Chain A
Amino acid sequence: MSFQFYSEKVLKYVKHPQNLGQIKNPDGVATVGNPVCGDVMRLFIKVEKKNNQEYLKDIKFQTLGCGAAIATSSMITTMVKGKPLKDAEKITNQAIAEALGGLPPSKMHCSILAAEALKKAIQNYRQKSKK
């Protein structure tokens, strides 16, 4: 049991975030949170179809927020990149928190925000592809 506020993994992701940046002409994009609350996350996704299945070919994030906000949004991109869309959709906020070696209770809302960002980005892709 660690008595540190943040796990080593969270700190690592804050220092060296994975998949940071934007995707030009993304297939789906979503922004969640707002500056009044202090956390804003934006996810960009690129989807590829192979053998009738949709895959997350690429995913990138941008975040304004605390350490947990940065770490959870970066972590979710590494967890779903290359995965089938239907699997990616099922990622829960608990899974993100676990993958980071746990989050302080007051920071769990950041993982919820990250999970919501992915769901909305996929929703955005589906709406676009219907047209």
Chain B
Amino acid sequence: MKKIYLDHAATTPVAPAVLKTMQAFFTKDFGNPSEPHSWGQAARQGIEEAREKVARFLKAQPSEIIFTSGATEAINLAHKGLIETFKNQSKNSRPHLITTQIEHKAVLETCRHLEKIGWAKVSYLPVEQNGLVKTKEVERAIRPETVLLSVMFVNNETGAVQPLKAIGQLLQKINKQRLRNKKGRIYFHTDATQAVQYFNCQVDDLGVDLLSLSGHKFYAPKGVGVLFIRKKTPLVRQQDGGGQEYRLRAGTENVPFIVGLGKAIELIQPNQKQSLKNTQKLRDRLVSGVLKIPKVRLVGDLKTNAPHIATFLVEGVEGEAMMLLLSEKGIAASSGSACTSGLLAPSHVLLAMGYQSQQAHGSLRFSLGQANTPKEIDEVLAFLPEVIQKLRRMAPKL
């Protein structure tokens, strides 16, 4: 049987055109981009062209783009780098950071680290039942010593699209007041990892000062990402060494992967609207089919969710068991159940949305990609009820 991959929120394959563009930089143009000879300069040109492509996509300046090993590193640098700048600013109070309870672990664990070492105090904003942060909550959390607000663009577990624009506008208003009162401004970071493929990520539209993204969610390879740093945003670099990436990220650049990311991001733009529509259509087909199964509900709101993610809560079944039986049939999905996390707690995102643990254990996430077809969706829909029925029959009546 042909395999069906529905786990694109976890990672995507490298697009053939991307791989092709990368190849020369492994063998022919392999030089160190810091060297002035022709090998080095060929590599330098590859990096700088990629930087321009990313800048064009974000509508930023190339000098505001730095390449990292992925979104996790970008997020670490954005948060730790900014907080380090401000940690000694006031003797009486630590810098304050606001984020949300539904962020990716890259953000949450970075924030916990900053709390642990005593560099920052952190507020974790709650979300509504639909998975969205309330702009009002942001306003209420702001303190005089707040220096950073970090809100993800699209949630990776539920596909909920956060009201970044509204939050960005609010922050601009607040920052104007603060500047008038001679107080420091609040910087705005977003983890845009799940948004790049389908949404406008232009930094001025979003009102962000820092934006993190990862290549392997949009058909570039794993191990390369980007941090956008708006001009005059004060960051202390977290990886020391040479002067690469405007002295903000030491270490010889991962040239072929950076070139690959540039190519992949270039491929998004001309087709973004169409691919959003196509994916939405496939997703709707999947959702209406899955919801025909008794005692299954969709997480979040179909109208406002990102087009590529559909997460379901299946009553009386555990998520990992569903995943394993689907995988037996060559179907890849994912789950936020405790058993898939390696920890014994179910998804922090679903819990923050107010779902009970026993509901969260039955979560099943499908995430679509560019190559999926209606036929594949129909095949999944033909097989999924069987899987759920089989597992429900196994379970004791409680």
Contacts and interface: CB of A to CB of B under 8 A. Distances in A.
Contact of B328 (A15, A20, A68, A106): A15
Question: Most chain-B CB neighbours within 10 Å: which of A36, A38, A63, A65?
Answer: A38
A64 B74 CA distance: 40
A1 interface: no
Contacts of A38: 318, 337-339, 344, 346, 357-358, 361
Query: Chain A interface residue count: which class?
Result: 20 to 34
Nearest to A109: B344
A65 B358 CA distance: 11
9 contacts: A14-B325, A15-B328, A38-B318, A38-B337, A62-B396, A63-B395, A65-B318, A68-B339, A69-B339
Contacts of A48: none
B177 to A, nearest CB: 46
Contacts of B394: 17, 20, 62-64, 70
A37 B324 contact: no
B320 interface: yes
Contacts of A106: 342-344
Contacts of B340: 66
B179 interface: no
A39 B325 CA distance: 17
A100 to B, nearest CB: 14
Nearest to A73: B394
Interface in B350-398: 356-358, 361, 391, 394-396, 398
B321 interface: yes
Given A64-B394, A64-B395, A109-B344, A36 B357 contact: yes
Given A64-B318, A67-B321, A35 B346 contact: no
B316 interface: yes
Consensus secondary structure, chain A interface? mixed
Contacts of B65: none
Interface in A1-29: 6, 11, 14-15, 17, 20
Interface in B320-343: 320-321, 324-325, 328, 337-340, 342-343
Contacts of B318: 38-39, 64-66, 69
B356 to A, nearest CB: 8
Nearest to A36: B357
A31 interface: yes
Contacts of A20: 394
Contacts of A66: 318-321, 337-340
B339 A65 contact: yes
A107 B344 CA distance: 9
Contacts of B344: 37-38, 106, 109
B395 A62 contact: yes
Contacts of A63: 394-396
A31 B316 CA distance: 16
Interface string B262-293: 00000000000000000000000000000000
A31 B328 contact: no
A111 B396 CA distance: 18
B342 A40 contact: no
A64 B357 contact: no
A36 B356 CA distance: 8
A42 interface: yes
A113 B343 CA distance: 17
A56 to B, nearest CB: 19
A6 B320 CA distance: 12
A40 B395 contact: yes
Given A68-B339, A69-B318, A15 B325 contact: yes
Contact of A35 (B319, B328, B339, B358): B358
Contact of A64 (B317, B343, B356): B317
Contacts of B395: 40, 62-64
B337 A14 contact: no
B227 to A, nearest CB: 32
Interface in A66-108: 66-70, 106-107
A38 B336 CA distance: 12
A35 B325 contact: no
A109 B342 CA distance: 12
A43 to B, nearest CB: 10
Contacts of A67: 320-321, 324, 339
Nearest to A66: B339
Contacts of A109: 344
Interface string B60-95: 000000000000000000000000000000000000
B339 A64 contact: no
